[in-house]
Structure formats: C-alpha cells, structure tokens
C-alpha cells in the first residue's frame, strides 16, 4: 500500500481520465423519493460530470456488477440429435467508483463465499479479477450500523481508497495500475498534518454512528432462539417480496434456470439472483416446502446474515448498510428485529423472579 | 479516442485451453464439474412403473468415462439441454465404469423431459457431488439397509458395492417397503440380490392388493421379525423424511448408536457446489456436507426433518 494526497480538482481529473478510457460505474442520481430526497444508484458513467461524488448512499448495492441479476453460465447449441456446450468466462474490465467501506467489505465477503470451498466459481473470479475499485469514505447516515458489524473501515479489496481530509483526498493506493495512472497527476506525499487530519476524519466517522446493534454473542443467541415466537411475529408482517435480498450487498443465493432460444436451435443456462424470502425457495418437486411460512424464511435470512454458515467459517455476512431496512415496505429492519429478539429473552421474568438475589 | 494510458487491461480467465493440459486427472475432474458436463448417451431405458424409469447412460468420451468415478451414495446433476438440471442419485455400481444407472421419477419439468427422451438421446451430467456411505467403516459388521419407495434408487449403489465385497460384511439385510405392490421397483432383481449377493431381502407394502402374498403394514413392522445386534450393526436408511424419522428412532430405541445410522437427505438444489444456498439445512449444505449424513448430525441440524 502506498499513501499519497491529491487535491480535489486533480482527483476529479484523474477519475475523468479513467472513466473515459474504461467501462465505468459510479453513483448517479436516478430519481427523487416522495420526500424530495435524491435516489442514487450505481450506473454507467462516461465522464466525471456524471458522478455524484457527494452522494449519500445508493439504494441497491454494487453486487450485481460482480454477480449479475441474470448471468449466463453456459450455452447449448443443438444440431440434429446432438448438442455442443459452450462455457464462457470472458468479461470486460470495469471500473467501480465511489464504493463505501461497507460496500468493499461486502465484496470481500462475497470473495470468501464464491472463491473458497471445493468449487470456486470461475464466473465470479473472472469478474473480480477485472474489477478496478475506487473506494470513498463518508459520514454515516442515521440508520447505518456498519460500526456494529465492524465494517466501517476496510483495508483491502480495493485498488484505491480516498479519505476526505478537507480540501484534499488522502489516498491509499493498493494496485500497481492505480499508481501508474495516478502518476500522471499532481500527487504529494502526506505531511504530518495530513496524517493527523486522516486520523481526525476516522475518529469523526467512528463517532458519527447513531445506530448501534449489539451483535456480540449473536450466533449462539440465534441458535437458542431458533423457535422463538418473534420470528412468526415479524414473519406475519413480511410480504415475502424479496426486495431486501435484491438490494443487499451480501445476499448471493441464486437459482439456475434454462431457456430455449426462440428458434429452438439452442438454449442458455443462466443464474438468477434469488431471495430466500420468496415462497418457493426451498420447495421441492411434489410440492413439499421445507420453509412454508414467511416467518421461517425471514428467520433463515437473519440466520444466514447474523449467524453465518459453516461454508464461510460461521462468519456474520451482514455489513450493516441497512439497505434492506430502507427498502422494506413492511418496515422490517435488522435493528428492530435483533433488538426485539434480545428483548424477548431479557425481559422474560419467569426464571429471573425465582432467582434468590433478585427477590 | 480513449487515452490508452488509463485503460485497464483485461485479465483472461478462459480455462478452456488449459483443461486439456491439466496433468492431474483429479484436478481435471474438478475443473470439469463446476460448469461443464460430461456428455452422455442414453443407451437403454427400462420402464419400471408409469412414474419411474431406469436410464442407462454412457459417457461418450472414452477418456472422460475413465475420469468419472464415484462412491455409493453420491449424486450428480443431470442436465437435459434446454430444460435444466436436477439432482439425481447414482443408482449403479461404483465399479461399473461402462454405464451409469439413474432411476428417475417423473416429478416436474426436467424429469418429465427426461421421460420423453428416447434411446440414443444425448444428455449431460455434472458430478459426482456430495458425501457417500462409509462402506469401509462398515467392514466386519452387519449391515441393515432400509428403503422406502424411491429410496431404493440411492440404496442400490451400496447394495451393489456389498455384492462386490460380500466377504467384508457379516449379515446383510435389506428391508424394502412401498405403498402398493406395483410400486416395488426392481422386483426382477430381487432373486439376484438374494442369491448372488447373499442379501436377506424382506419386502412389505402398505396397501396390499389381491395378488400380493407377502407382508403388509408399515416398514417398522419388519423389525419384530428378526434379531438386531445393536453393537455390531450399521444402518443405511433412504426414503421420504417421515419414514426415516420413524425408522431411525426405532433403531435408536433398539440401541444402534446414532452415528452408525446413515440417511440421505433431499433438498432443492440448483448448483450442487455449495454456492446457491438452495439446499441449506440449518447452517449446512446438503450438496457438500450431505446428502449422506449420520443420524446424529441430522438430529443436530435445525429444520432437518
Ligand atoms: C441428493 C438428491 C438425490 C435425488 N435422487 C433422485 C433419484 O435418484 N431419482 C429421482 O427420481 N429423484 C431424485 N431426487 C429428486 C429430484 O431431484 C427431483 O424430483 C427433481 O429435481 C425434480 O425436478 P423437476 O425439474 O422435474 O421438477 P420441478 O418441480 O419442475 O423442479 C424445478 C426445479 O426445482 C428443483 N427441485 C424440485 N424438486 C426438487 C427436489 N425434490 N430435490 C431437489 N431439487 C428439486 C430442481 O432443481 C429443478 O430445477 C433427488 C434429489 C436430491 C436432492
Ligand atoms: S423483509 Fe421486507 S423486503 Fe424482505 S421480503 Fe419481507 S417484506 Fe420484502
Ligand atoms: S442484511 Fe441489510 S444491513 Fe446487512 S448487509 Fe444486507 S442490506 Fe445491508
Ligand atoms: S445445491 Fe447450491 S448450495 Fe447446495
């Protein structure tokens, strides 16, 4: 890692050059919500002017640029009674601009999931190898809880990371290509003052979190509370729409579907990002559904996010961006669900009242 | 014109050209099964009932035929090009490299397409995936196999294995139950299993018809008919979840240790490789850590039964 500082206009010129030479995605305002606030998304950009450098947060994550909502896995070309299978991993390099530390952490988590285990995904690897990431820090929104998940800072997984230190950016350069591109611009070595300002900035971010969730010991807690009535209570609210999984940066469950071409001369096998909240997620042929109730499915999603699965060493995969909470029409969000779950147990008086020292 | 100084060069990952250069056979198998299937010809189709057929597949490429090895209990992803993939247990002997047998019930989209397939049609398989029955660990012991309905499909693989290694095992018994007599699959092989493989086979049906002369009732009724040595017996149980729940708790009461009973779980599967998460039971993948689990693990899995 190399550390440099760059003035904001120079940085903008650098981004502009990069964006003009590559297929790039960055935060853009796409609409305004009912309160008149801007809605941002990671969209294709063709110059620095397209990029909303001071955006707050995007509604969806950048996950779909590494794991597309629909991604081709293989093709079959039919001839007489035979066929040929084609598998293609080639992808074009892309530049992602403006990812937040939690977004980059989320990509690091996806790396663990998709590239470890006995069968690493070549499709994901190809995309990941061809992704150039420029991260930028920001002050958390009132409902972000990345700090609780310890994902408010990140120190790997990007090509370049910029911290805002007033009139300049403090750059952490993590790739040779990023450095060679940056050399065309006016870079300075960080002064003592810059270093102090970086530390101040980090402190400020850390102390700006208004939402905190107690997640320590949560894995065991979730195991114990597997049959808690809380799940059905929240489940009754859930519309099983799957929006939470679509916007989440670490929800990666998918479904594989195959379709004939219209001329019936071939077919395509595609992966489609799916959501475990959708009713047929665990339904098998013959109609049996292993998670028939919306509460069972909601629980399963929380279980995956806050307990973790054996495949990624039982690590929590939520990064605390609260995208799911903002998107949910039924007002279901991690903070309320987890607090409710904890409260349910902690406010239970049955056993506490018999304990002698409480009497 | 983009300024080439700022162009990020693409990194190629097309493994296509490399596959043939991989010296290690095992590695080559692993590369192949993640996304590319083995092309197979359907060489024979045996109709069993109106709902089930037995398919004999032969891998077209002679080299790939040698590469494809599996252990009893494993499954593969059967692809009918254009229709999709389904997980199917391998129902043949693991020492037979010439043919792969799949016993398939017509249950939906892909399996119906397979039912329409004619002899000579080309399909594709990826695999083998998943865990297998610990046939070596069972050496020197009695083996009790319990199959319910289509559970006979996965149980045929260990059955053939035992036939090939009969002197490894002491008393081998198989209980096979179905709803109706006509649903007892492979009845044409029963004599062979009894005489050649020296397996004590007992059958039972829930709803007997007039022609049925054998036993009727639930499969657990058979346990009263012979002694079980709990300290010396391994059990393999395949069938619908309700059935193995009853059978395993019965065997548990008889004193067979839970880690000596093996069941094969069925879940929805879309990748077979521990990625799509469709097959999760609790925090475990059925496709990687299963489908064969010992009953102790199953008891410890949330949502397993
Ligand atoms: C480890 C394992 C071994 C199996 N072995 C056999 C066997 O030997 N013989 C046999 O007839 N059947 C077997 N099955 C069940 C078989 O996979 C399903 O009947 C089949 O997937 C139904 O697919 P379909 O497309 O015809 O049905 P649809 O209902 O159209 O299914 C659509 C999709 O759902 C998935 N799906 C639906 N039901 C199941 C299910 N029960 N299990 C897993 N995925 C499902 C499939 O991936 C399929 O792509 C096995 C299942 C598993 C998990
Ligand atoms: S939690 Fe909310 S967003 Fe997610 S499926 Fe339920 S209703 Fe939809
Ligand atoms: S579960 Fe919600 S808060 Fe956690 S990473 Fe996903 S969208 Fe963000
Ligand atoms: S089938 Fe995809 S994870 Fe098991």
Whether residue B19 has pLDDT greater than 50: no
- β-pairing verdict for A70-79 and A23-32: unpaired
Please check whether residue B31 lies inside any domain of the structure. Answer: no
Please check whether residue B7 lies inside any domain of the structure. Answer: no
Residue B126 CA to residue B38 CA, distance in Å, equals 6
Residue A179 CA to residue A181 CA, distance in Å, equals 5
Q: Does residue B201 sit in the same domain as residue B254?
A: yes
- β-pairing verdict for B142-148 and B233-238: parallel
Strand partners, A77: A84, A266
Q: Does residue B176 sit in the same domain as residue B227?
A: yes
pLDDT class of B304 with cuts at 50, 70, 90 = low
Strand partners, B60: none
Which residue range(s) make up the domain with B185? 142-300
If you average pLDDT over residues A159-177, what whole number do you get? Answer: 91
Last residue in a domain, options B95, B129, B163: B129
CA distance B114 to chain A (A): 14
Put simply, whether A82 touches B (Cβ < 8 Å) is yes
Please check whether residue B4 lies inside any domain of the structure. Answer: no
Q: Does residue B97 sit in the same domain as residue B212?
A: no
- Ligand 3 center–CA A318 separation, angstroms: 5
Least trusted range by pLDDT, from B5-14, B86-95, B151-160? B5-14
Residues of chain B with C-beta less than 8 angstroms from the C-beta of A92: 10
* pLDDT at residue A312, rounded to an integer: 60
From residue A287, give the alpha-carbon distance in Å to each of A24, A291, B299.
44, 12, 24
Pairwise CB contact (< 8 Å): B283 & A310 = yes
Strand partners, B135: none
Q: Which of B13, B35, B33 is nearest to B25 (CA)?
A: B33
Residue B53 CA to residue B148 CA, distance in Å, equals 17
* pLDDT at residue A357, rounded to an integer: 45
Q: Which carries the bigger pLDDT value, residue B34 or residue B53? A: B53
* pLDDT at residue A86, rounded to an integer: 86
CA distance B297 to chain A (A): 14
**Structural contact between residues A74 and A68, judged by C-beta atoms closer than 8 angstroms:** no
Q: Does residue B172 sit in the same domain as residue B46?
A: no
Please check whether residue B134 lies inside any domain of the structure. Answer: no
CB atoms closer than 10 angstroms to residue A264: 9
Whether residue B152 has pLDDT greater than 60: yes
- Structure tokens, B247: 């059978």
Q: Does residue B86 sit in the same domain as residue B146?
A: no
- Residue with tokens 């839970």, as numbered in its chain: B258
Please check whether residue B9 lies inside any domain of the structure. Answer: no
Whether residue A221 has pLDDT greater than 70: yes
* pLDDT at residue B16, rounded to an integer: 44
Q: Does residue B125 sit in the same domain as residue B249?
A: no
* Average per-residue pLDDT for chain A: 87
CATH code, domain carrying B77: 2.40.30.10
* For the CA of B268, the nearest atom of ligand 4: 1
Last residue in a domain, options B98, B129, B160: B129
Q: Does residue B65 sit in the same domain as residue B91?
A: yes
**Structural contact between residues B199 and B159, judged by C-beta atoms closer than 8 angstroms:** yes
Segment (H or E) for A75:
strand A70-79
* Average per-residue pLDDT for chain B: 85
Chain B: residue whose CA lies nearest to A120: B34
Q: Which carries the bigger pLDDT value, residue A86 or residue A347? A: A86
Q: Does residue B224 sit in the same domain as residue B247?
A: yes
If you average pLDDT over residues A35-42, what whole number do you get? Answer: 90
Please name the residue ranges forming H helices in A80-191: 101-115, 122-129, 176-182
- Residue with tokens 């042929």, as numbered in its chain: A285
If you average pLDDT over residues A270-294, what whole number do you get? Answer: 86
Q: What one-character-per-residue DSSP string does chain B give?
A: ---GGGPPPP-----HHHHTT---HHHHHHHHHHH-PEEEEEEEEEE-SSSEEEEEEEESSHHHHHH----TT-EEEEEETTTEEEEEE--S-TT--S-EEEEEE--SHHHHHHHHPPTT-EEEEEEEES----TTTTTTSEEEEEEEGGGHHHHHHHHHHHHHTGGG-S-EEEEEEESSGGG-TTGGGHHHHHHTS--EEEEEESS--TT--SEES-GGGGGGGS---GGGEEEEEES-HHHHHHHHHHHHHHT--GGGEEEE-----SSSSSSS-TTEETTEETTTT-SEEEHHHHHHSTT--
For chain A, state the CA radius of gyration: 23
If you average pLDDT over residues A270-286, what whole number do you get? Answer: 87
Q: Does residue B121 sit in the same domain as residue B223?
A: no
pLDDT class of A296 with cuts at 50, 70, 90 = confident
Strand partners, B200: B173
Residue list, ligand 2 pocket, CB within 6 Å: A 238-244, 277, 298, 327-330, 332
Q: Which of B192, B12, B99 is nearest to A122 (CA)?
A: B12
Centroid of chain to Cα A200? 27
If you average pLDDT over residues A43-60, what whole number do you get? Answer: 91
* pLDDT at residue A347, rounded to an integer: 61
* pLDDT at residue B24, rounded to an integer: 52
Put simply, whether A129 touches B (Cβ < 8 Å) is yes
Whether residue B22 has pLDDT greater than 50: no
A192-203 tens-digit pLDDT: 999 999 999 999
CB atoms closer than 10 angstroms to residue B67: 17
Q: What one-character-per-residue DSSP string does A123-144 give?
A: HHHHHHHTEEEEEE--PPPTT-
CB atoms closer than 10 angstroms to residue B202: 16
Last residue in a domain, options B78, B108, B129: B129
Share of chain B above pLDDT 70, in %: 90
Q: Does residue B50 sit in the same domain as residue B166?
A: no
Put simply, whether A156 touches B (Cβ < 8 Å) is no
Q: Does residue B260 sit in the same domain as residue B194?
A: yes
pLDDT class of A313 with cuts at 50, 70, 90 = low
Least trusted range by pLDDT, from A3-7, A28-32, B113-117, B213-217? B213-217
CA distance B302 to chain A (A): 8
* pLDDT at residue B145, rounded to an integer: 93
* pLDDT at residue B21, rounded to an integer: 46
Please check whether residue B272 lies inside any domain of the structure. Answer: yes
CATH code, domain carrying B196: 3.40.50.80
Please check whether residue B136 lies inside any domain of the structure. Answer: no
Measured from the alpha carbon of residue B114, the closest ligand is 1
- Ligand 3 center–CA A33 separation, angstroms: 21
- Ligand 4 center–CA B32 separation, angstroms: 17
**How many independent structural domains does chain B possess?**
2
Please check whether residue B29 lies inside any domain of the structure. Answer: no
pLDDT class of A351 with cuts at 50, 70, 90 = low
Whether residue B18 has pLDDT greater than 50: no
Whether residue B7 has pLDDT greater than 90: no
pTM over 0.90: no
What ipTM does the predicted assembly reach? Answer: 0.83
Residue A106 CA to residue A325 CA, distance in Å, equals 17
If you average pLDDT over residues A241-251, what whole number do you get? Answer: 92
Q: Does residue B151 sit in the same domain as residue B249?
A: yes
Phi/psi for A173 (5° steps) reads: -100, 120
Whether residue A285 has pLDDT greater than 90: no
């Amino acid at each position: 890692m190399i550390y440099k500082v760059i003035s904001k206009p120079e940085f903008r010129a650098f981004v502009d050059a990069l964006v003009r030479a590559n297929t790039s995605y960055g935060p853009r305002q796409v609409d305004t919500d009912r309160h008149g606030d801007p809605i941002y998304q990671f969209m294709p950009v063709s110059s620095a002017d397209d990029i909303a450098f001071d955006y707050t947060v995007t509604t969806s994550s950048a996950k779909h640029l590494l794991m597309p909502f629909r991604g081709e896995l293989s093709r079959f070309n039919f001839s007489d009674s035979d066929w040929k299978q084609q598998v293609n991993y080639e992808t074009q390099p892309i530049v992602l601009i403006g990812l937040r530390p939690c977004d980059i952490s989320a990509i690091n988590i996806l790396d663990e999931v998709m590239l470890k285990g006995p069968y690493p995904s070549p499709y994901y690897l190809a995309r990941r190898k061809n992704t150039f990431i420029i991260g930028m820090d920001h002050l958390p929104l009132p409902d972000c809880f990345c700090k609780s998940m310890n994902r408010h800072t990140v120190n790997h997984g990007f090509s370049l990371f910029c911290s805002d230190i007033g009139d300049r950016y403090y750059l952490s350069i993590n790739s040779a290509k990023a450095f060679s591109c940056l050399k065309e611009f006016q870079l300075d070595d960080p002064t003592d003052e810059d270093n102090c300002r970086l530390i101040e900035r980090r402190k400020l971010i850390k102390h700006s979190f208004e939402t905190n969730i107690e997640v320590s010991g949560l894995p065991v807690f979730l195991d114990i509370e597997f049959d808690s009535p809380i799940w059905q209570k929240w489940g009754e609210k859930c519309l099983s729409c799957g929006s939470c999984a679509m916007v989440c940066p670490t929800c990666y469950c998918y479904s594989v579907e195959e379709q004939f071409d219209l001329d019936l001369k071939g077919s395509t096998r595609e992966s489609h990002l799916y959501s475990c909240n959708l009713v047929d997620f665990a339904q098998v042929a013959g109609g049996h559904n292993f998670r028939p109730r919306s509460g069972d499915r909601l629980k399963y999603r929380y279980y995956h996010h806050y307990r973790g699965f054996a495949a990624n060493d039982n690590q929590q995969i939520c990064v605390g961006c609260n995208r799911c909470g903002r998107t949910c029409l039924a007002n279901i969000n991690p903070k309320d669900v987890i607090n409710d779950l904890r409260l349910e147990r902690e406010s239970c008086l049955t056993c506490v009242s018999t304990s002698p020292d409480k009497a | 014109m983009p300024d080439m100084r700022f162009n990020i060069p693409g990194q190629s990952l097309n493994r296509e050209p490399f596959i043939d250069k991989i010296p290690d056979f095992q590695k080559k198998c692993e590369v192949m099964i993640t996304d590319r299937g083995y092309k197979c010809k359907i060489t024979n189709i045996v109709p069993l009932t109106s709902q089930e057929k037995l398919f004999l597949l032969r891998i077209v490429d002679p080299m790939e035929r040698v590469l494809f090895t599996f252990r009893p209990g494993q499954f593969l992803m059967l692809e009918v090009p254009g229709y999709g993939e389904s997980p199917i247990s391998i129902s043949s002997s693991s020492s037979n490299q010439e043919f792969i047998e799949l016993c398939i019930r017509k249950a939906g989209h892909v399996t119906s397409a397979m039912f329409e397939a004619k002899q000579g049609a080309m399909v594709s398989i990826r695999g083998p995936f998943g865990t297998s029955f610990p046939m070596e660990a069972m050496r020197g012991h009695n083996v009790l196999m319990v199959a319910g309905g289509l559970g006979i499909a996965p149980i045929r693989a260990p059955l053939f294995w035992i036939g090939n290694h009969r002197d490894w095992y002491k008393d081998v018994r198989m209980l096979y139950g179905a709803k109706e007599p006509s649903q007892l699959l492979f009845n044409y092989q029963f004599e062979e299993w009894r005489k050649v493989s020296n397996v004590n086979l007992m059958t039972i049906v829930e709803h007997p018809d007039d022609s049925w002369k054998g036993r009727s009732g639930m499969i657990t009724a058979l346990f009263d008919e012979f002694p079980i040595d709990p300290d010396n017996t391994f059990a393999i149980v395949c069938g619908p979840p309700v059935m193995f729940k009853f059978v395993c708790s019965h065997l548990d009461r008889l004193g067979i240790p839970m880690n000596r009973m093996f069941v094969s779980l069925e879940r929805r599967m879309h990748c077979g490789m521990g990625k799509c998460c469709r097959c999760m039971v609790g925090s475990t993948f059925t496709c990687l850590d299963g489908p064969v689990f010992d009953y102790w693990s199953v008891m410890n899995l949330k949502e397993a039964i």
